[in-house]
Amino acid sequence: MFLRKTGWQAMAVATIAALLLSACTQTGSGTGSPTPGASSTGPKVLRMARQAEPFSPFVPWQIDDNPALFISVQVYDTLLRTTKDGTNVEAGLATKWTPSADGLTWTFTLRDGLKFSDGSAMTSSDVKASLDMARGGEKSAWKDSYVAIKDVTATDPKTVTITLKQPYAPLLSVLAMFSGGILPADMAKATDTKDYDNSLAWKTKGTGAYYSEGWKKGDPIILKRNPNYWKGTPALDEVRIEYIPDDNTRVLKLQGGETDVVDFVPFSQIAALNTQQGVKAQTFAIQQTEFIILNTSKPPLNDVKVRQALNYATDKDAIIKNVHFGQATVMNSPIPQGTYYDKSLPGYPYDMEKAKALMAQSSGAAGFKIDMQVRSGNTNFANIAVIVKEAWAKLGVTVDIQTLDTAVVRTNYRAGDYMTTPAAWTNDMNDPTEIVNYAMRGGASPFAYWTRYNNPDLNSKIDKADLEQDATKRQADYSEIQKIYLDAAPLVFIAYLGASAGWRSNIEGFYIDGLSYYRFEDVKINK
């Protein structure tokens, strides 16, 4: 569906055009000479500017925000890893994994000579302690993903045995997920104690390529090279990550040579950046969705007809054209375009008349006012808010756009103190069990991605799909789950996105993989 510049669309496009023109003008002015990330003889320090700082502690199984996740994968490693394209698993800390004939017992063999960043040996006891916390720790945000595990045993120093309650198809994908990062046994156990100080988690001791000696919120994070890294010593001595919420400011710093890598480059600026000497920019294909979270516990958003009306009233093609510059596709299913994604689902095509009819039948027929909390500095979310504000007004819905610090928005939606907020989800594993458990299962934290939506029948179907072994039957199960959640509309489903980044041309080896992870272990700074 192509954009027709009439009515609310013309108003929205005009507003966005002004915003984007301003952004492009600012970007085009940054022509300063590059400052190298390190001298030819000094330490190799990579400087990165990211949009948001971590919210969660650096404890893999307690993480529920991407900024903390991206630190975790630099400092902690897992038994297995997901391949760069995000579709399979490969060796990590374990080099061999073998199932029993009945599929209930898996034996993992660890690499020789594994060490933590302080030089102490890593053994199967550390694996057991960490996985026990991930699957059963009181503070674990990911225990549902490990529900099929009955026991983890340190059989000998190099062998880990995992016993299942019943055969579990996603097991290897789960073990490759960041939440299964391995800590020393004593540290892993300490993270779950009642009086544990989360600030201790900023000081890491893992088997990843880097480690952190500590961090204070508001300061840059300094990651230092792990001399005991199992893949060999990384080329970089340090990675210095600062947090700059404003997209344009990050891009200007990149152009001026004040930083080496930036994330979340506005799609409007990628083409222009690639015409400038010394700078590169790219959109990487990842399994990411973009949507608006609806707090289904707040009237009238507790009415499914209201939620469906908002979906039909949102012109996804207009957003893709004017916000994402065509670098996205319309979201037709609640899950990304990966394993068991159902491309046959209809989604919510733009249909204002249908939206009005649904709203007229709903508890919101008389009109209502809602807030939309937008993360400060996020250009895409700000522009989406402008479009939906104009669109939803046609339904009698007044949207109060509130631009707030990212940490405030997160605190609010976790507490249920919001009505709507734009957000995005990226798969962290090559199996849908993660997203359906985190974003669709209700009744307990994280409350179906903080929507407060809870459907016990859907929860049961999720359990069944997680445990099904036959691939054809799993596809049928997950197709049904997608349809139920889509019809319930706890989100306004918008688009499938890529991940954008920019970097100085002397940076070699930077990439974002299919699950949006980037790792600094292979990155180099050339002269």
Residue-level pLDDT at 526: 95
Q: What residues contact 452, with CB distance under 8 A and at least 6 apart?
A: 295, 296, 297, 416, 442
Six-digit token string for 324: 């994402």
pLDDT band at 187 (very low <50, low <70, confident <90, very high): very high
| Bigger pLDDT: 5 vs 27 | 27
Q: Is residue 322 one of the residues assigned to a domain? A: yes
Residue-level pLDDT at 446: 86
Residue 265 in this model has a pLDDT that exceeds 60: yes
Q: Is residue 122 one of the residues assigned to a domain? A: no
Q: Is residue 101 one of the residues assigned to a domain? A: no
Residue 281 in this model has a pLDDT that exceeds 50: yes
Apex 71 CA angle, 512 and 112, nearest 5: 90
pLDDT tens sequence across 310-329: 999 999 999 999 999 998 99
Mean pLDDT of 389-413: 97
Residue 33 in this model has a pLDDT that exceeds 50: no
Residue 309 in this model has a pLDDT that exceeds 90: yes
Nearest in space to 298 (alpha carbons), one of 217, 229, 364, 226:
364
Task: Report the b/e string of 128-137 with b at 16+ CB within 10 A.
Answer: bbbbbbbbeb
- Of the given ranges (38-47, 139-148, 353-362, 457-466), which has the lowest mean pLDDT? 38-47
Average pLDDT, the chain: 90
% of the chain with per-residue pLDDT over 70? 92
pLDDT band at 30 (very low <50, low <70, confident <90, very high): very low
pLDDT tens sequence across 189-213: 999 888 888 888 899 999 999 999 9
Alpha helices in 30-176 (DSSP H): 66-75, 124-136, 171-175
Residue-level pLDDT at 37: 56
Q: Is residue 438 one of the residues assigned to a domain? A: yes
Pairing assessment for the beta strands 238-243 and 45-50 based on DSSP bridges = parallel
CATH number of the domain encompassing residue 381: 3.10.105.10
Q: Is residue 432 one of the residues assigned to a domain? A: yes
3-state helix, strand, coil in the chain (%, to 5): 35, 25, 45
Q: Is residue 111 one of the residues assigned to a domain? A: no
Mean pLDDT of 476-488: 98
Q: Is residue 459 one of the residues assigned to a domain? A: yes
Cα gap 493→332, rounded to integer Å: 7
pLDDT tens sequence across 373-382: 999 988 889 9
pLDDT tens sequence across 1-20: 222 222 323 333 333 333 33
For the chain, the domain total comes to 1
- The domain of 482 spans 285-498
Q: How many CB atoms lie within 10 A of CB 217?
A: 12
Cα gap 335→111, rounded to integer Å: 35
Q: Is residue 433 one of the residues assigned to a domain? A: yes
Residue-level pLDDT at 40: 55
Strands (DSSP E) along 60-158, which ranges?
80-82, 89-91, 94-99, 105-110, 149-156
Residue 513 in this model has a pLDDT that exceeds 50: yes
Residue-level pLDDT at 41: 64
pLDDT tens sequence across 126-162: 999 999 999 999 999 888 889 899 999 999 999 999 9
Mean pLDDT of 277-294: 95
Residue-level pLDDT at 377: 86
Mean pLDDT of 446-451: 92
Phi, psi of 301 (to 5 degrees): -70, -5
Q: Output the CA torsion 83→88→94→96 (10° steps).
A: -130
Residue-level pLDDT at 10: 33
Residue-level pLDDT at 66: 87
